Structure 1
């Protein structure tokens, strides 16, 4: 055994020595063998230190700093133990017999040093975040942009579009009054709609007085357009990219946009020309996938049935019996249903494209601002006047309307002037496209009646002859109980 390798053995002794050959490699720990091209057969060579990875022929020994010396070095294993399917390393830094390390057998279950996260089915998926503003391009005319909508005031109008003189308005007439029989029929119809009301009072009442008036409902509609700009992004799938190299972007109010219908709310989003560019997704860094938020990249979660123990205890014939969990088959963990065990999911920021198309988006909003006023002389609530139909005695539609000045009731003239002047300056960040005003005349009849020495009043209003009778004497007929 003490003979040095490489010396020839006498021919006569060769039959007795083959049994000693298997021990030769084990007597030279750390030496790479007699491979051609290796520079070192000198004693004390640094390659004998355990854990050196580079003992391949033709290579100089690697530097000692920056390379871990085996599984004992800090930072080699992840804090939560080897991942599912990982290969645990044996003690020592050099594989046994010079052979590569083998994975565990197929039936062996890999253990976890720490707990695998619990699955929370109610946990919401993270909301995609916007790219950093410092990564956005500097677009001429759109400086200091952000991902939040910024209001763009309209440019000043060169000419205020108004009429030189108010339009000619014809004479406004009041509506005809209703008769006593019409008032009684309207009250009977109202009683029939309320199951607990008795109809005796409506049939036998004595009408003392009827006073017919007209309620006026004035309405002003101001249809405006507002514009907002902000950075926007979407997954880049190869769609056209109109960048600053194609020209100077137009101003926000120079981009054409028209509403589908006047006096109807609407919104449309438009990409500002010559502002687009392509960026690497800041969330997945171009990988198209991110770590699963349910299992945190493990691919497996703690079994919710056995709480990770792999077994369940139950009573059988008065004794506690422990059996393997059928939900996770005794592993204590099961596959994550959200990522299907992969540990990664598609990136929501770029829609799994890996790149983002960033551009400035113009949002055009059309709003119909409505303000009204009701002039009514009786105790009838104003909201009831708004809910019924009447006769439209005045209706005008212009880019900018004039206040009403010739209405028989001065209160309507005053209300029209106040509301029109208010709307001229109330929407400074929007452009007024059109205005419309109208006056509806709603008939109202106040009826004073008496039933069995009980005086009461009711109102008949609107073209539908609706009834408002809070003082009706028979509001609870026989057999009904008020709780």
Structure 2
């Protein structure tokens, strides 16, 4: 599936840029709002960029031996062939939601006449008084016998990789990590195909690279891929030049929620807010 063209995205208006700038300044404890309110915008440059994300939802199955105190209950003995780990039905959670589940494997139980920690009477030497008395064994709970069986451990994990294409507005890339963008493309399937015919070749290359990486690293005899999802978000970025008191300054408006970065704000009474 080819993603749509971003040509229909409207650029940020001067009015919206100034309103975002005023809001930014008003929320800083040591900023005067006069530069934001009185500054005259002289230039607006667009540096829109894209954030590509690939999610691969996997299921991993492992088996290990476990044990419990035996209370005389009927057991599913080892006299029949137990199923393989991928033959046991387990309900997975909703796709892309992580989880863990344990289930006892059929036909794997046996009873041991004594626990590994105590004789058959279910007592062991006390570790506090160095054996001067006996206490109930914590393994068999004093029963003297344990049930040994195999447990299937199933875990679901959402493996996520994302990449934001480099932009040259002067905005630090780290500021884009958590801001919401405009969703342009979503593709979900058992196995998705690389993005094709997108306007930014860096997105195409990232899609191909991430898919190769996930298919190589996330499939094994213990792990299988259940679902994949890839998305492309547009991150709007506008570099705004304005004049205030005959001097030129710059601020950047970015993200769908109009976040602002203004590292050279001209009316700050201290430097603490400018670092935020």
TM-score, normalized by the shorter chain, greater than 0.5: yes
Report the CA distance shift for 1:255/1:208 in structure 2 as closer, same or farther (over 3 A): same
CA distance in 2 between partners of 1:380 and 1:175 (Å): 21
Report if the CA contact (8 A) 2:55-2:158 is conserved.
yes
Please point out which of 242, 259, 269 is paired with 1:449.
242
* Equivalent residue, structure 2, for 1:195: 29
Please point out which of 204, 207, 211 is paired with 1:416.
207
Unaligned runs of 5+ in 1: 1-166, 299-342
Q: Deviations over 1:300-335 (max 9, x none)?
A: xxxxxxxxxxxxxxxxxxxxxxxxxxxxxxxxxxxx
Report whether the alignment pairs 1:434 with 2:215. no
Report if the CA contact (8 A) 1:217-1:386 is conserved.
no
Report if the CA contact (8 A) 1:380-1:459 is conserved.
yes
Report if the CA contact (8 A) 1:174-1:214 is conserved.
no
| Paired residue secondary structure (1:367) | strand
CA distance in 2 between partners of 1:401 and 1:178 (Å): 33
Pairwise CA RMSD: 2.1
Instruction: Using the TM superposition, give the Cα deviation of residue 268 of structure 1 relative to its aligned residue in structure 2, in angstroms.
Output: 1.0
* Equivalent residue, structure 2, for 1:276: 109
Report if the CA contact (8 A) 2:188-2:229 is conserved.
yes
Report whether the alignment pairs 1:253 with 2:89. no
Q: Deviations over 1:26-77 (max 9, x none)?
A: xxxxxxxxxxxxxxxxxxxxxxxxxxxxxxxxxxxxxxxxxxxxxxxxxxxx
* Equivalent residue, structure 2, for 1:402: 193
Instruction: Using the TM superposition, give the Cα deviation of residue 180 of structure 1 relative to its aligned residue in structure 2, in angstroms.
Output: 1.7
**More strand by proportion, 1 or 2?**
2
Report if the CA contact (8 A) 2:32-2:267 is conserved.
yes
Report if the CA contact (8 A) 1:290-1:344 is conserved.
yes
Report the CA distance shift for 1:183/1:418 in structure 2 as closer, same or farther (over 3 A): same
Report whether the alignment pairs 1:364 with 2:154. yes
Determine which structure has more spread, i.e. the larger CA radius of gyration.
Answer: 1
Q: Deviations over 1:411-441 (max 9, x none)?
A: 1111111111111111232211111001011
Report the CA distance shift for 1:172/1:184 in structure 2 as closer, same or farther (over 3 A): closer
| Paired residue secondary structure (1:217) | strand
1:467-478 to structure 2, matched below 5 A, reads 467-476=260-269
CA distance in 2 between partners of 1:215 and 1:168 (Å): 18
Report the CA distance shift for 1:474/1:344 in structure 2 as closer, same or farther (over 3 A): farther
CA distance in 2 between partners of 1:200 and 1:168 (Å): 47
Report if the CA contact (8 A) 2:3-2:195 is conserved.
no
Report whether the alignment pairs 1:180 with 2:21. no
CA distance in 1 between partners of 2:143 and 2:172 (Å): 60
Instruction: Using the TM superposition, give the Cα deviation of residue 354 of structure 1 relative to its aligned residue in structure 2, in angstroms.
Output: 2.2
Q: How many residues align?
A: 268
Please point out which of 131, 134, 142 is paired with 1:352.
142
User: TM-score by structure 2 length?
Assistant: 0.89
Unaligned runs of 5+ in 2: none
User: TM-score by structure 1 length?
Assistant: 0.52
* Equivalent residue, structure 1, for 2:164: 374
CA distance in 2 between partners of 1:445 and 1:352 (Å): 72
CA distance in 1 between partners of 2:219 and 2:51 (Å): 27
Report if the CA contact (8 A) 2:238-2:253 is conserved.
yes
Q: Deviations over 1:229-259 (max 9, x none)?
A: 11111122234311122x1111111112231
| Paired residue secondary structure (1:350) | coil
Q: Deviations over 1:248-287 (max 9, x none)?
A: 1111111122312111111111211111101121212233
| Paired residue secondary structure (2:170) | coil
